[in-house]
Structure 1
Amino acid sequence: MGLDINEGMLAVAAEIAADLLHSIEWRQGDATELPFSDESFDVVCCQQALQFFDDPGAPVREMRRVLEPGGRVVLSVWRPLDYQPRR
Structure 2
Amino acid sequence: MALMITDECINCDVCEPECPNGAISQGAETYEINPDLCTECVGHYDEPQCQQVCPVDCITFNPDHKESKEALLQKYKILTSK
TM-score range, shorter chain: 0.3 to 0.5
Looking at secondary structure, tell me which structure has more strand per residue: 1
Q: TM-score, normalised by structure 1?
A: 0.33
Q: Which has the higher contact order (CA 8 A, sep 6+)?
A: 2
State the structure with more CA Rg.
1
